[in-house]
Amino acid sequence: MHDFPGDITIFEDQPYKNITSYITPGVHRVQKFAERKWAKATYQRFEELFREYGGEAGIQRISGYVLSQDEQYIIEQEENYGNIVHDFRWLEEKDMLQFTNDENKARNLSGVHFTTYTAEGRIYLPWIRNQTENYGVKFVQRHIETVNEVCDFTFFFVFGM
């Protein structure tokens, strides 16, 4: 952001504190192969933030599993992010026994283990806002219905969410 030519103004409909979740943080996973490019960039950024700031930025490392009786679904998981995340590996039949006592069910399961990142909104959003404000980004609380409402300003880019 410090290399961005010009001023940055972010309009917010309401203060982020009013819309920030205080429930479970988001787990970074890729559901569609077409999103790999962005997922890889996000994963790398979360990794940098975790290594430099740790929990202070609301980013944590977490390991977990994806299980399915549909092996094709698990194959797609590997294609989507198997070489992006840490510790990606296919589970063996003996691993499946930790999820069921029934050996027949264990044989019919496919699964993977991997390590990824979580982003806890109630910590991450204030942290990233503080970082951007340190670079001179301005936040303006204003409800905007149409792009015409900001045409009286001198903006090069207008993004909507």
Residue 73 token pair:
């679904």
pLDDT for res 68: 94
**Residues 32 and 80 sit within 8 Å (Cβ to Cβ):** yes
Total tally of structural domains belonging to the chain: 2
pLDDT for res 152: 64
pLDDT for res 77: 93
Residue 4 within any structural domain of the chain? yes
Is the dihedral angle over the CA atoms 91, 38, 57, 10 positive or is it negative? negative
pLDDT for res 116: 94
Nearest residue to 106 (alpha-carbon basis) of 89, 122, 91? 91
pTM (predicted TM-score): 0.76
Which domain range does residue 73 map to? 26-119
Cα separation, 119 vs 62, whole angstroms = 10
Cα separation, 19 vs 6, whole angstroms = 29
Residue 160 within any structural domain of the chain? no
For the chain (length 161 residues), average pLDDT per consecutive 10?
Answer: 67 76 72 88 94 92 94 94 95 90 86 93 87 87 78 60 48
